[in-house]
Amino acid sequence: MRRTILCLVAVVLIASSALAQTPSAVPVFQITPGQSTIKFDVKASVAIEGTFDKWEAALTFTSPAAESAVFDVKIYAASVDTGSSIKDNKLKSADFFDVQNNPYITFRSTNVVQTSPNTFELDGNFTIRGVTRPEHLKLTISGKGTGSGTIDGMMAFDRKDYGMNSGIPFIRIANRVQVTVSLVGTRIAGPPVVFKQ
């Protein structure tokens, strides 16, 4: 009898723990790639700007609080598209993205702070060419409270911090690279996100 009671208590505890961790207890968002973009630009004597055609992004939460969010981006470096095959091939080479040895460019947030009703600042780990460094991403959201909306963000980094020291023949290139994201997201499950006022 005692063994039966202990088994029942164990089942109840396991079930309670599982319920507390179910996805329905937190907001679940889906990013729509077809309506979203990730772009970059570098000041140069000949414009160097483009997009990445293949990437994945995820916005996950550990609670309904907006600051519990974790923002992940995984970019397929070989999908770079500047509109010029010469520039694309140079950016894919070992001098820049080194896509053969380092196929992904990633960002994963480590801390999220709401700075106004519609803006956030994210600290995170940015990896390119196999080098990981802390970087800072600023986001602005729209559509708050509707279940869908846009996330627009900007991050800038120094390419030489990641070993991209080379140039492109006959083109002067600045060191600062600016990355912008414009993502469309929809809440597909869980409660609404709770924002600070």
Mean pLDDT for 57-74 is: 94
Span 20-38, pLDDT tens digits: 444 568 999 999 888 999 9
Please provide the CATH number assigned to the domain covering 23-189.
2.40.128.110
Span 89-143, pLDDT tens digits: 999 999 999 999 999 999 999 999 999 999 999 999 999 999 999 999 999 999 8
- Identify the DSSP state of 3: H
| Distances 1 to 6, 7, 9, 116 between C-alpha atoms, Å | 9, 10, 12, 58
Distance CA 41, CA 47 (A): 8
- CA torsion angle 94 100 101 106 (round to 10): 90
- pTM attached to this predicted model: 0.84
Q: Which of 62, 70, 89 shows the shortest CA–CA distance to 190?
A: 62
Mean pLDDT for 53-65 is: 94
What is the average pLDDT score of the chain? 87
